[in-house]
Amino acid sequence: MPLRLHYNLEKLSMGLVAAIIVAASIGGLVEIAPLFTIDETVAVPKDLRPLTPLELAGREIYIREGCYACHSQMVRSLADEIDRYGPYSLAGESAYDHPMLWGSKRTGPDLARLGGKYSDRWHVDHLTDPRAVVPASIMPAYPWLARPLETGNLGPELATLARLGVPYDPGMIANAAADALAQARPDSPGAEAARGRYGERFAARDFDGNPAELTEMDALVAYLQSLGTQTRAPYEVLAEGIE
């Protein structure tokens, strides 16, 4: 009987179109409706910090180079995942991500807890020639990341994110380009001012080993080293569960 009804519906093109619209609308409603209550269901950790301008530039490079196509940033709440990667991901820790990069494809390992796992030098060598560090790696090389970093758009990017709810204040927006340079040059005159804007967790150092120039490699390594360090909430939740 159901097959006969479907066959008869296929003969009526307008009826079939209407049925498709109804089915798609139901599916869309199920996906979209929860978003109207997201502010009530997703708690933003109190210690969550926004990305610095240099880390944000690195995130843009990460997206530009398609890194998200092979690496997820979402540790599932499964024992083997927690053992390998660390605390499972919380929705709130991605509250300032636009777009979020949780993903589901893992040609390479998950990167949600990558920050601090390897040295800056390891990341530079790995991005320049992956097989020199991991012989079995199938990751492509990115030697062009040694080129200078363009910082002119960082201020407008921070201003846009501020309108979306990321807590960038006018001082952060006005000094975005200078703060990006200061983070990679800890001895520069602007380093202390930048640290004052972003707090003690402002990781200032020469990320790519080339103090003469601010590069895309500086930005990408800074971003990779920030992953999993923006809040302690996932670690606290995991500790509570173990207790």
Kindly state whether residue 185 falls inside one of the protein's structural domains.
yes
State the pLDDT confidence band at 20, using cuts at 50, 70 and 90.
Answer: confident
Q: What are the phi and psi torsion angles at 199 (to 5°)? A: 90, 180
CATH number where 147 lies: 1.10.760.10
The 10s digit of each residue's pLDDT in 220-239 is 999 999 999 999 999 998 88
Based on the fold, state whether residues 121 and 98 are members of the same structural domain.
yes
The 10s digit of each residue's pLDDT in 106-152 is 999 999 999 999 999 999 999 999 999 999 999 999 999 999 999 99
Q: Are 107 and 138 in contact (CB under 8 A)?
A: yes
Closest CA to 106 of 85, 130, 127: 85
Kindly state whether residue 121 falls inside one of the protein's structural domains.
yes
Based on the fold, state whether residues 24 and 87 are members of the same structural domain.
no
Average pLDDT for 7-23: 78
Based on the fold, state whether residues 25 and 104 are members of the same structural domain.
no
Kindly state whether residue 48 falls inside one of the protein's structural domains.
no
* Burial of residue 164, with CB atoms counted within 10 A of its CB: 0-12 exposed, 13-18 middle, 19 or more buried: exposed
Separation CA 20–CA 76 (nearest Å) = 34
Question: Per the structure, how many domains does the chain have?
Answer: 2
Based on the fold, state whether residues 181 and 227 are members of the same structural domain.
yes
Separation CA 114–CA 126 (nearest Å) = 14
Kindly state whether residue 46 falls inside one of the protein's structural domains.
no
Based on the fold, state whether residues 154 and 213 are members of the same structural domain.
yes
Closest CA to 180 of 99, 46, 61, 48: 61
Kindly state whether residue 9 falls inside one of the protein's structural domains.
yes
